[in-house]
Structure 1
Amino acid sequence: MTTVKSIIRPQRVICASLLIIIVHVAASLMNTPASVQLILNSVTCVYIGCFLTFRVERKHNEEFHKRTQSEDAETMTSKDAFQFPLYGSLVLGTIYVLYKFVPKEYLSFIFTSHFMFIGIFCVGAIFEIPFSAVFQDKYEKVSVIKRKININLPLLKKEIDLDFNLQQIICLTLALVPTASYILTRNWISNNIFGIAFSVIGINNLVLPNFKVGYILMWGLFFYDIFWVYGTDVMLTVAKSFDAPIKLIFPFNWEEKKESMLGLGDIVIPGVFVALALKYDIDQQLKKAINIHTVKTPYFNWCFGGYIAGIITTFIVMVVFNHPQPALLFLVPGCTISVLIKALIDGKLKELFLYEESEKGISQSEVVKVEK
């Protein structure tokens, strides 16, 4: 099987990754506007997450096959989308109450330990991307740990497969460096390394099967975000008190120790919708293009542009009113309405809502070559 790693030239993802590094280095050396950090970091996280969500493979030189990059990806249903804001509210409210009655240092230890354990694997997965590109996956074929563990407890009976190759072991070892840095210093860059990893892996692991589910999820969280930010102090209290890498931090005035922040949900949730627009483009055009690099992404471009417009608007409104804003208030319309406008222009609104995300192969007989 010949694998096509990405539908775009990998240099674009590499450049996006380098942009994140440059922004963080600049912000650590000088006062960098919060707007620049917030916009560039969030936009590049969404971009990278979308293009790493799946890959296209050619099987036996006669069939194209699209599959998710992550084997652990979970597909959301309409029921899940309806319940998502309710479960989110329950978790948010529970954390808020705990902070009122339980010593902060105890909760911080529990939450930090939990996210550090998950974070090591997320950061390790991110490190695997350049590692795999440099060493051409040769370490991926060397198995180090391969065994099954049976857990047999009164309330928990489960079989766990432990399967780690040499590449994963090396990258997990490298992930211990930012982990130790965060635990010892709570440095904002270490925090953001985990935040970026959570964002990219989050977009990678949450799959929207169609636009109906996408719109239910997005607009449900639209009202969720407005209520918890404007209607109560719960969201802001938890965000400021929660000492764990669940947000990106942007210091913009070192002398006065001022910083801005962006919750990871404002990256992941719109990100999975933007990724759905990209999948729609791929599924529509794989039937027309043998050369993967010729695939155009008009719906992704419109949706991604809507995300950029939404995040810029969020910051402008925040500065004008000098008050934290629910980012989804601007991101949800930006992403969802832009896709609707594009579908209306193309006369494909019905086709858009009948679309079902698929991983089925496309045979060569269905493919028409497109010139570069």
Structure 2
Amino acid sequence: MESLWKLTYLLEPASLTLIVTAVLVTFASASRALDHGKEMERNLDFSEASITLDRSQALMIPLASSCSLLIMFYLFSSVSHVVTAFTAVASASALFFCFSPYVASLKSQLGLMDPFVSRCCSKSFTRSQGILLLFCIGTVGAWLVSGHWLLNNLLGICICVAFVSHVRLPNIKICVLLLVCLFVYDIFWVFFSERFFGANVMVSVATQKASNPVHTVADSLSLPGLQLIAQKLELPVKLVFPRDLLGGVVPGSSSVDYMMLGLGDMAIPGMLLALVLSFDHQKSKENSLDLSSKRHKYVWYAVVGYAVGLVAALAAGILSQSPQPALLYLVPSTLGPVILLSWIRKELRELWDGSKLIPNDKPWSMEV
């Protein structure tokens, strides 16, 4: 009974905020992926073409992720500055990608003139895009200086949205292959890696902080105000919420502890949501003339399944007082309802094989 009473800590502000944020980000990522696909179809912009995974690439992702984990586990102190610099560039790019549609919409609504001001990397930049780029660089700079968890979360959310928008799954067959492989990957690195490597590799990598290259440069040059620059940074590869958010603290934790959820635990289910959302959109166009054909969309079953799986993962962590592989709960809770519902509707074959790729999709080369 005492164990069940611990589940009330799911109602703590930090837990509720994490759950709501993760669900909204996952759905927003799928929605932005659908909009981005429509933009590519409409503009036929080859430079913005997305990556569509095939079977071999789906198999390579868990292997590449495992290699990255081991590199970060053994050599993180050596590559920390490089990883932080690369993350800063990726964060600025993702921030620009996520805010661009809102800037364009605002410009259209206000009827503002937006002349081209320069060219960069064979692409023309308008004045509004230049201002947005400066804002994105300033935001990343603020994160480097302060290391604040809110900025960390903002950048992480943008990276998740950009990833789901640019990496596509062609059908449920490839989706099942990818999710099952990552399901095994998550379980192994959380539950069994300590037997082989002497420590929980996943937890060690997820909780370690990166060195701040800005702090290092400022220190070497003896610049004033050095104490204001964060020496260590939480990289925006996860959502973090202080457990003392609004004063709520889970027993057994200190006030400086954080509740964490990796970006992969949003991005991977987000790819599934993007796939079924695209399928729903295709079906709604086919049935637009049939007013009697009212159907619940697959995406809502997947969203509800994601929320249930996330709550189950957090509950398991609270009851066991140990880290849990979130995909252990998220993969069955999202993939299961979609496959079951499509089988009942006799649409599993159509969803399994997928539709033809849009003309401007380009294959992903694994060459470095």
TM above 0.5 = yes
Q: Distance in 1 between matches of 2:328 and 2:209?
A: 22
Q: Which residue of 1 aligns with 2:236?
A: 245
Matches within 5 A, 1:134-173: 134-136=106-108, 142-146=115-119, 160-173=121-134
Contact 1:139-1:167 within 8 A present in 2 as well: no
SS in 2 for 1:54: helix
Instruction: List runs of 5+ in structure 1 lacking aligned partners.
Output: 1-30, 59-63, 148-159, 361-372
Q: Which residue of 2 aligns with 1:152?
A: none
Look up the equivalent residue of 2:115 and give its one-letter code: V
Q: In the alignment, does 2:102 pair up with 1:130?
A: yes
In structure 2, stretches of 5+ residues that fail to align are 1-10, 194-199, 211-234, 246-253, 360-368
Query: Distance between the aligned counterparts of 2:325 and 2:19, measured in 1?
Result: 15
Query: Match of 1:46?
Result: 26
Cα pair 1:281 1:300 within 8 Å, conserved? yes
More helix by share: 2
Q: Structure 1 residues 131, 296: CA separation in 2 closer, same or farther (over 3 Å shift)?
A: farther
Q: Which residue of structure 1 lines up, in the alignment, with residue 344 of structure 2?
A: 345
Amino acid in the other structure paired with 2:80 = S
User: Is structure 2 residue 281 aligned with structure 1 residue 282?
Assistant: yes
State the distance in 1 between where 2:43 and 2:284 align. Answer: 12
Q: In the TM superposition, what is the alpha-carbon distance from 1:139 to its structure 2 partner?
A: 6.6
Which residue of 2 is the match for residue 192 of structure 1? 153
Cα distance between partner residues in 2 of 1:74 and 1:288: 29
Q: TM-score, normalised by structure 2?
A: 0.76
Alignment check: 8 A CA contact 1:203 1:268 kept: yes
Give the structure 1 partner of residue 81 of structure 2.
109
Provide closer, same or farther for how the CA distance between residues 113 and 86 of structure 1 changes in structure 2, counting only shifts above 3 A.
Answer: same
Q: How far apart are the structure 2 equivalents of 1:345 and 1:207?
A: 25
Residues 34, 274 of structure 2: 8 Å contact kept = no
Aligned partners of 2:34 and 2:277 also within 8 Å: no
What amino acid does structure 2 have at the position aligned with 1:212? Answer: K
CA offset at residue 186 of structure 1? 0.6
- Length-normalised TM-score, structure 1: 0.75
C-alpha separation between the residues in 2 aligned to 1:68 and 1:309? 38
**Structure-2 change in CA distance of 1:296 and 1:199 (3 Å):** farther
Report percent identity of matched pairs.
27
Secondary structure at 2:118 match in 1: strand
Give 1 or 2: higher strand fraction: 1
SS of aligned partner of 2:48: coil
Measured after TM superposition, the shift of residue 145 of structure 1 is: 2.5
Q: Identify the range of structure 1 (138-147 vs 262-271) with the bigger mean alpha-carbon deviation.
A: 138-147
**Shift in alpha-carbon separation, 1:165–1:314, aligned structure 2, 3 A:** same
Paired residues of 2:116 and 2:127 also in contact (CA < 8 A): yes
Residues matched between the structures, number: 306
Shift of 1:356: 2.2
Render the CA deviation track for 1:13-49: whole Å, top value 9, x for unaligned: xxxxxxxxxxxxxxxxxx9622112111111111111
Q: Distance in 2 between matches of 1:140 and 1:213?
A: 45
For residue 36 of structure 1, what is the aligned residue in structure 2?
16
| Offset of residue 200 of structure 1 | 0.8
Match status 1:215 vs 2:176: yes
Aligned-pair CA distance for 1:70: 8.9
Distance 1:36 1:290 in 2: 41
**2:60 is aligned with 1:83:** yes
Offset at residue 311 of structure 1 (A) = 0.9
- 8 Å contact kept, 1:54–1:70: no
Distance 1:70 1:231, change over 3 A: farther
Q: 2:114, 2:173 → 1: CA distance?
A: 40
Matching residue's letter, 2:62: P
1:332-360: per-residue Cα shift (whole Å, max 9, x none)?
A: 11111110111122122222212225437
Of residues 235, 241, 263 in structure 1, which corresponds to 2:202? Answer: 235
Aligned AA for 1:184? V
Alpha-carbon distance in structure 2 between the residues aligned to 1:140 and 1:49: 30
Mean CA deviation greater in 296-305 or 182-191: 296-305
Q: Spell out, residue by residue over 1:216-263, the C-alpha distance to the aligned partner (whole angstroms, 9 max, x if none).
A: 001110000000011121111111114321111111216721211111
Higher relative contact order (CA 8 A, sep 6+): 2
Q: Which of 176, 181, 186 is residue 137 of structure 2 equivalent to?
A: 176
